[in-house]
């Protein structure tokens, strides 16, 4: 049974507050309404679209924190960051990211998301990729959301940091990489 508009909008606002990175599609499924209805409700409530919500959080929280590169140079949207510890980013695969004949994401976009996240997690003004060992586990298609999770494994005395990055679509591993990063300072 469909909820009255006023009640649905109140619940929509609460749902977005508790899960700010939820998509319009997921909200439409949750409330059993069309995506257009969700978009109209968001507009009436002055709630920005997902990309703007993510951008706002990323800009507010990590613009001053990311040291090794400008936040705009990170491929995907950073949603969590603890320097020299861990980081998470989201990349929605669009038509611009895929081969035109089969809608499969080009591998360099998945690599760029993981590599830029490995750079962003480094607590240093200079961080460069010295070596990368990568593995693609399955194809990623247009319309899928890739969540990359970086974890700093070791920081050694030779100005090297090892960062593991695993990328997922709906909890399924699609990419993994071990990045050896050069940093300008010892930790």
Confidence at residue 159, expressed as pLDDT on a 0 to 100 scale: 83
Residue with tokens 């409700």: 41
Q: What band does 163 get if pLDDT is binned at 50, 70 and 90?
A: very high
Query: For all residues of the chain together, what is the average pLDDT?
Result: 87
With H, G, I as helix, E, B as strand and everything else as coil, classify residue 116: helix
Residue 134's φ and ψ, nearest 5 degrees, are: -125, 160
Q: What is the dihedral of CA 104, 111, 164, 86, to 10 degrees?
A: -100
Q: Is the pLDDT of residue 26 over 60?
A: yes
Q: How far is CA 182 from CA 68, 77, 131, 134, 178, in A?
A: 11, 23, 9, 17, 13
Confidence at residue 64, expressed as pLDDT on a 0 to 100 scale: 45
Q: What band does 20 get if pLDDT is binned at 50, 70 and 90?
A: confident
Which is more confidently placed, 53 or 9? 9
Who contacts 183 (Cβ-Cβ below 8 Å, separation ≥6)? Answer: 122, 124, 126, 127, 159, 160, 161
Q: pLDDT for 134-152, tens place per residue?
A: 999 999 999 999 999 999 9
Q: pLDDT for 85-134, tens place per residue?
A: 999 999 999 999 999 999 999 999 999 999 999 999 998 888 899 999 99
Domains detected in the chain: 5-47 (1.10.10.10), 53-183 (3.10.129.10)
Q: How is 12-65 classified by DSSP, letter by letter?
A: HHHHHHHSTT--HHHHHHHHTS-HHHHHHHHHHTTPPPHHHHHHHHHHHHHTTT
Beta strands 160-169; 145-155: pairing state: antiparallel
Query: Cβ of 16: how many Cβ atoms within 10 Å?
Result: 19
């Amino acid at each position: 049974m469909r909820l009255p508009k006023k009640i649905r909008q109140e619940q929509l606002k609460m749902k977005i507050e508790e899960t700010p990175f939820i998509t319009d599609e997921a909200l439409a499924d949750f409330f059993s309404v069309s995506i257009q209805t969700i978009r109209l409700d968001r507009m009436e409530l002055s709630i920005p679209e997902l990309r703007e919500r993510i951008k706002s959080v990323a800009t507010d929280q990590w613009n001053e924190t990311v040291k090794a590169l400008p936040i705009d140079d990170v491929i995907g949207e950073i949603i969590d960051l603890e320097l020299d510890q861990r980081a998470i980013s989201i990349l929605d695969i669009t038509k611009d990211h895929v081969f035109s004949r089969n809608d499969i994401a080009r591998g360099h976009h998945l690599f760029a998301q993981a590599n830029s996240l490995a750079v962003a997690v480094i607590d240093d003004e200079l961080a460069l990729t010295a070596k990368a060992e990568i593995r693609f586990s399955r194809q990623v298609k247009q319309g899928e959301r890739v969540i990359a999770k970086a974890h700093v494994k070791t920081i050694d005395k030779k100005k090297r940091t090892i960062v593991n990055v695993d990328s997922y679509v709906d909890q399924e591993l699609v990419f993994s990489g071990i990045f050896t990063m050069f940093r300008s300072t010892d930790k």
